[in-house]
A and B are shown apart, each in its own frame.
Chain A
C-alpha cells in the first residue's frame, strides 16, 4: 500500500537557521511529489511540486526540494527561515496515471522563534 512518511513531527528553529524537513514515500510507478503549507487558520497552499526533469525544484518563498529516486525521498529545504514560515508542512504523493488521488504525510509543524 502507498504511504508517505514525515519523520519530523514538530521542528523549532530560530530565525535565520536552515531548514530541512524529511519526506519518504512508498509508492509504485511514476509519481508526482508535492509540498503543501498550511499557515495557522488557513487552507493548504502549494509550495512546490515535482513531476519530471530536474530533481531539484524551487518553489515559492525561497523553498526548494530535492527528489532522490533511489531513496524514495523528497526533502524540503530552506537556507534561512523567517518567523513568517511558522506553519504546518505536508508532503504529498500521487501517481501520474490512474486514479491520481493525492496521499498526504502526517505533517510537520514548524515553529520559528524570532
Chain B
C-alpha cells in the first residue's frame, strides 16, 4: 500500500504566489487532515475533513483553503503565499470511528517542505 502520498516534497514560492499541496490516501480513510510543523511549535492543525464534501477549520486555518471532493484526495491551497507560511506540511488520515469511539491512529505522509521568499 502506498498509504498517504504528498506532492510536491519541496517547493519554493515568492510572496503572493498561489499553489496547491496535494494529498492522496489509498486506505479508504474517512478522516483526513493537514498540519504544519514549525520548530519549537510542534504540529498544528490547519484544516480537517471527516468525509467527502465535509471540511472544517483547525487551529491555524488563515491563508489556507481545502476541499474534499473524493474520499481519496484532500488538497491544501495557499491563495497568496506569505513568508509566515514557510513550514513543513503534513497530511494525515485515519479510519472511521469504531462503535462511536475514535481510537485510531493517524497515518502521516512524508511531508512537503515549503519556502516562501
Q: Is A106 an interface residue (CB 8 A)?
A: yes
What is the distance, in angstroms, from A12's C-beta to the closest C-beta of chain B? 17
- A interface, over-half SS: loop
B108 near A34 with CB under 8 A, answer no
A97 near B102 with CB under 8 A, answer yes
**Given the complex of chains A and B, what is the CA–CA distance between A99 and B56 in angstroms?**
10
**Given the complex of chains A and B, what is the CA–CA distance between A32 and B94 in angstroms?**
14
B102 near A34 with CB under 8 A, answer no
- B interface, over-half SS: strand
Given contacts A90-B42, A106-B40, contact A100 B105 (CB under 8 A): no
CB neighbours of B90 from chain A (8 A) = 43-44
Interface size class of B (residues with CB under 8 A): 20 to 34
B100 near A46 with CB under 8 A, answer no
CB neighbours of B105 from chain A (8 A) = 34, 46, 49
A100: contacting residue among B31, B35, B41, B43, CB under 8 A? B31
A101 near B48 with CB under 8 A, answer yes
CB neighbours of A43 from chain B (8 A) = 90, 108-111
B101: contacting residue among A44, A49, A96, A99, CB under 8 A? A96
Could you list which residues of chain B lie within 8 angstroms of chain A, going by C-beta atoms?
Answer: 31, 33, 35, 40-45, 48, 50, 56, 58, 90, 92, 94, 97, 100-103, 105-106, 108-111
30 pairs from A and B in contact (CB 8 Å cutoff): A4-B42, A6-B42, A32-B103, A34-B105, A42-B110, A43-B109, A44-B92, A44-B106, A45-B108, A46-B105, A49-B105, A51-B103, A52-B103, A90-B43, A94-B102, A95-B102, A96-B102, A97-B100, A99-B56, A100-B97, A100-B102, A101-B33, A101-B58, A102-B92, A103-B45, A104-B35, A104-B43, A104-B44, A106-B40, A106-B41
